[in-house]
Amino acid sequence: MHLVLILQENLEKIRVALYVQKAALHFIEAGHRIEYNLSEEVRQAGYEIEPDELASLARAHDMMGLEINGRAEGLAGKVRVSLDQGVKTSEVHLRQSVYGLNQYVEKPSETFWMFIWEALQDLTLIILMVCAAVSIGVGIATEGWPKGMYDGLGIVLSIFLIVIVTATSDYKQSLQFKDLDKEKKNIIVQVTRDGFRQKVSIYDLVVGDIVHLSIGDQVPADGVFISGHSLSIDESSLSGESEPVKINKQRPFLLSGTKVQDGSGKMLVTSVGMRTEWGRLMVTLSEEGEDETPLQVKLNGVATIIGKIGLAFAVMTFFVLIGRFLVQKALNGNITNWSFKDGVIILNYFAIAVTIIVVAVPEGLPLAVTLSLAFAMKKLMNSKALVRHLSACETMGSASCICTDKTGTLTTNHMVVNKIWICEKSKEIKINEGKDVLQSLIPEKVYSILLQSIFQNTGSEVVKGKDGKVSVLGTPTETAILEFGLHLGGESSHYKESEIVKIEPFNSVKKRMSVLVSLPSGGFRAFCKGASEIVLGLCDRFVKANGESVSLSEEQRKSITDVINGFACEALRTLCIAFKDIENISKDDDIPDSNYTLITVIGIKDPVRPGVKDAVRTCLAAGITVRMVTGDNINTAKAIAKECGILTDDGLAIEGPDFRNKSPQEMQQLIPKLQVMARSLPLDKHTLVSQLRNTFKEVVAVTGDGTNDAPALHEADIGLAMGIAGTEVAKENADVIIMDDNFSTIVNVARWGRSVYINIQKFVQFQLTVNIVALMINFVSACISGSAPLTAVQLLWVNMIMDTLGALALATEAPTDGLMKRPPVGRSANFITRTMWRNIIGQSIYQLAVLLVFTFRGKQLLKLTGSDAAKTLNTFIFNAFVFCQIFNEVNSRDMEKINVFQGMFSNWIFIIIVVSSVTFQAIMVELLCTFAGTVPLSWELWLLSVLIGALSLIISVLLKCIPVEPTKRLAIAKHPDGYEPLPSGPDQA
């Protein structure tokens, strides 16, 4: 809610700023035009217009200025660019130096020193620093220099170490998130350069570039319209106005940051980066950080409760120590005699109490979440998944349903025309066959109309690369049809005499594309292509074997429908192409949508991606239901779904129109069985997602690539946009961008999501165990003996092992195969499970029992004598306590399986942290005795400390043999691998 309010506030700021700026510029324009003098830099570069003058045209919608400069053609001449050839690659650097880079000024990132300052703001650390300063002052006064300062200096050094480690960790995460944020904003733009259409990064765009725009694209810079068809722009991100703006020669200005809602076109870039409207306004807005993720919110609650318990124990420990101290003084008759030494003792008691709070407050919990999410995001980035919102990473781990597209996600998206029905004949298309084979089967007139329909009714373009090779730029379906046209010997240049009058681009609602062209002999011809049943429904005639157009009878319509279904049952994507000759039509009239003549039915092969079947099987084993939602023919969808393992014998396949006509009660009955939805509209996908989330309480992930998929992506718990086929609008509404459009990558996101959740659980189990033991041992010891065996410095060191290093070790574990053999975690599931409580309580009892025995009977058991006996015992207890935590860290790697060493040696971060912890412990005990309050230990005591710690491994094995009472939902036998099996039967539904 907080984030929504911030976004609304920012949009309002943008809208107001835009209107104020426009009003001011129109006022200036009305009074007088600003005269720009050509600078020496611009003149030497060979350009004839100043950067500021060029930028002001689009920003102020200055039609007068545009007319004076000769519109798009005149501006192109002034910035030395051909509207056909585009910018020369060799001039890109010069244009960037004169007209600027297409990058916005970003708020400088926080320096390392800022993170150190933030780490020092912790209240408990500030109190400890005050205690340390007082301790040093009193110590020097009573014990002299330098002995009196050791206790206080030890606390200061410990605090310094904690601050450095915390700041370093936070700083590295901030750098990583900055890199990911830059990647999120990197949009690929289609431009014409060196006479060739090519793709460039938005960051490489320069003034003078000819940019190609189509539905769903983001306008990458300010510019002027060159040419296009039905171009409609959504300027709501700038102006707040929801009504789309029609762009044409009369209204030619395009602004950076706006979205193409419909149509297509070409624009000349007139300003980039900070000279654009969007760039200027972005400077006035401070970028807000992300809201906390659901898991962070949940863990903050846990941390607050633990902190309060720790505070209670700290207060009790302090008063027990003070009480015993006062009673002791009273018994010795010294209650009225106070010295500096007494002050130091009380100060030390206070420092121990504050340190208990430091240990108890689990500030490592939020850090562990951030670390785990950052680690998962980095790994997913390497695996072709760009996480846009942190929360999606963990939510994906709870996903119980994935609604996926077919084309490009389950299939390879490399399409080829495999079959064609034309002139009442079906023909399989083979690559090695020449054009003559098909040409010999059909009349010349039909052949000519077929090629014209292919090359003129298209949203793609045939381009020639620098190497002379011909390629097609556009969607995979369009590419397949154009490649088929090229295979038949056609060329787009053959049809230049037939001028395109009007285009109605393809969209997911109409499921067809239409174009109106003028004929050289006079009159017009409309071409239509799209979903086979829909285009067939627009036809009342078809082309017979002899090439003549005849009326389409019901019997012939049924025969053609059987051909379409036959193609679809072979898992081919079917399209129909039709035409209509028109005598007279106004340019303002819509392209006709009836009385067409059917030319051909095309079957396009799009093979299933390798590994999809295994990925679907993995999902089912993990309790994730996979549903296919596609705009394709139902027979094609069913064939592909069966091949992928999505559609089972008892599963339901339904068409979008049937689904949307169902009542809520009927939907409730059919959705559990629904596995395939074909011929669906974006609204159908949105309805399905809403039902699954609200009625069935499922955690839903949805894939989408089109502009119209945005509502469903927004509605879902996790929106997954396609990186290759997806529009910028879809990507902006998604939580994760699947860079390779591969379903296996989606499964990988789910695997890492589960890993994040389980890694945090491991860390919480580890941390709670340390908390309980550290609090109890000092409290019990204070109550019984009047002293705390663990000093402030020692507790601070334990705190660092437990919080920062523990989080780093356990939060960066890679996912295991076992994670995808268990059901997803429900929305309302308890974070701390019964298994975790069993392990926490069992390990705590063991550690407390051993350490308390040594606290009260240690001298006799270890045969310690002499003046250093008490200090040696306390050092031994501290050493054993630390080794218990190090071995318990190993135990926490798996909460259920007995073998906790599996994969440990391949996790170098974990190994480094364990080795570092042991090394620094040895340094503290053996070398930093004065600061840490320790004495060097004999090798026998070292060995005993390690054995006490190692014994927790055996305790862990015994604990895991204790059955945990299962909940009703999982009251069934366990798998041999230690994981609960998936629920089956009515419970699963």
Residue 508 CB-density burial (10 A; 0-12 exposed, 13-18 middle, 19+ buried): middle
**Calpha distance 595→578 (Å, rounded):** 10
Cβ atoms within 10 A of the Cβ of 94, count? Answer: 16
Shortest CA distance to 540 belongs to which of 462, 624, 609, 597? 597
Q: One-letter amino acid identity for 552? A: L
d(CA 305, CA 328): 35
Q: How far apart are CA 769 and CA 279, in angstroms?
A: 52
Distance CA 478, CA 94 (A): 37
Task: List the beta bridge partners of residue 177.
Answer: none
Cα 671 to Cα 691: distance, rounded to the nearest angstrom: 8
Tell me, letter by letter, the H, E, C secondary structure of 521-583. CCCEEEEEEEEHHHHHHHEEEEECCCCCEEECCHHHHHHHHHHHHHHHHCCEEEEEEEEEEEC
Residues 65 and 54: beta-carbon distance below 8 Å? no
CA distance linking residue 158 with residue 395, whole number of Å: 37
What's the half-sphere exposure (Cβ side, CA atoms, 13 Å) at 387? 28
CA separation for the pair 59, 795 (Å, rounded): 62
The pair phi, psi for residue 923, each rounded to 5°, is -65, -45
Taking each continuous run of H as one helix and of E as one strand, the counts in the chain are 35, 26
Distance CA 919, CA 916 (A): 5
DSSP letter assigned to residue 815: P
Secondary structure (3-state) at 380: helix
Cα-flanking dihedrals φ and ψ of residue 684, to 5°? -65, -40
Cβ pair 605, 654 in contact under 8 A: no
Of 985, 987, 401, nearest in space to 677 by CA: 401
- The DSSP element (H or E) to which 421 belongs, if any, is strand 416-422
The closest alpha carbon to 70, from 62, 80, 59, 78, belongs to 78
| Residue pair 356/795 in contact by the 8 Å Cβ criterion | yes
DSSP 8-state secondary structure symbol assigned to residue 788: -
For 239, the token pair is: 């102006």
DSSP label of 244: -
Cβ neighbourhood burial of 988 (10 Å; 0-12, 13-18, 19+): exposed
Query: What would the two tokens of residue 66 be?
Result: 């545009």
Contacts of 770 (CB under 8 A, 6+ apart): 359, 798, 801, 802, 806, 885, 888
Alpha carbon 628 to its chain centroid, in Å, reads 22
Active site residue 405: yes
Beta carbons of 714 and 689 less than 8 angstroms apart: no
The catalytically annotated residue of 62, 209, 222, 405 is 405
**Residues whose CB is less than 8 angstroms from the CB of residue 43 and which lie 6 or more positions away in sequence, other chains included:** none
In 3D space, the residue among 512, 518, 510 whose CA is nearest the CA of residue 452 turns out to be 518
How many residues make up the chain in this entry?
Answer: 989
- Alpha-carbon span 876 to 889, nearest angstrom: 20
Comparing C-alpha atoms, which of 311, 343, 313, 310 is closest to residue 325?
343
Q: Cα angle vertex 122, ends 121, 127, to 5°?
A: 105
- The residues that are catalytic are 405
